[in-house]
Amino acid sequence: MTVARTEISDVRLPPDARVIPEWISPAEETALAGYLDAGEWSGELRRRVRHFGYRYDYRARIATPQSRIGPLPDMLQRLGRRMVEEGIFASLPDQVIANEYLPGQGISAHVDCEPCFGDVIVSLSLLSPCQMQFRRVETGEKRAVILRPRSLLVLEGAARHDWTHAIPARRSDRIDGVQVMRGRRVSLTFRTMRF
């Protein structure tokens, strides 16, 4: 018996995921990237990261009350408040990770820690586009979408719990039928701690 390979069909999100384009202005994007670059990026992974609110332990794959760093910086707090005002989060996000992806870098397939983080995961994209791939754990079904700068990706329900998400570690993506070289991308992922 031959098993049909599931093809990635572009511009398709898993159920319970949505993208809000141009959620911030280009000026806000520049200010956020400037703020992140003015602080210290951590080199603990292949890609650089910055943690806010609570530190996430990549080896143990958890964030705990003991890992508290402090309140979110004002700039991130303001964005979190806006997400609550817009009904994206029911309560203020209190944990944020900034990820930096240079061309060739990605993030392997994962479901964000279920015991640690609440039911809504939001990723704000800055600077340059890249593809995100989704895979339904139960069936292997694949979907993919291009995350554009200044857009917000909201994962909840099935998209948050039943599908993995990943960014392939490569140097270009096919966008609107054209192969586009990647630039530096920075993302900010907002979460609520589950305790």
Subset of residues 100 to 129 that bind Fe ion, contact rule: CB under 5 A: 112
Q: Which of 189, 192 has the CB closer to ligand AKG?
A: 189
Evaluate whether 156 touches 143 at the Cβ level (below 8 Å). no
Residue 142 interacting entry, from ligand AKG, Fe ion, none, C-beta within 5 to 8 Å by type: none
Q: Taking the complex as a whole, how short is the minimal distance between the CB of residue 62 and Fe ion, in angstroms? A: 14
- One DSSP character per residue, 103-152 reads TT--EEEE---TTTB-S-EEEEEESS-EEEEEEETTT--EEEEEEPTT-E
Evaluate whether 89 touches 120 at the Cβ level (below 8 Å). yes
Q: Taking the complex as a whole, how short is the minimal distance between the CB of residue 191 and ligand AKG, in angstroms? A: 8
Q: Taking the complex as a whole, how short is the minimal distance between the CB of residue 167 and ligand AKG, in angstroms? A: 6
Cβ neighbours around 179 below 10 Å, total: 9
Residue 72 interacting entry, from Fe ion, ligand AKG, none, C-beta within 5 to 8 Å by type: none
Q: Which of 75, 97 has the CB closer to ligand AKG?
A: 97
Residue 123 interacting entry, from ligand AKG, Fe ion, none, C-beta within 5 to 8 Å by type: ligand AKG
What amino acid occupies position 84?
V
Give residues in contact with ligand AKG (CB under 6 A).
Answer: 97, 99, 107, 112, 123, 147, 165, 167, 187, 189
SS3 75: helix
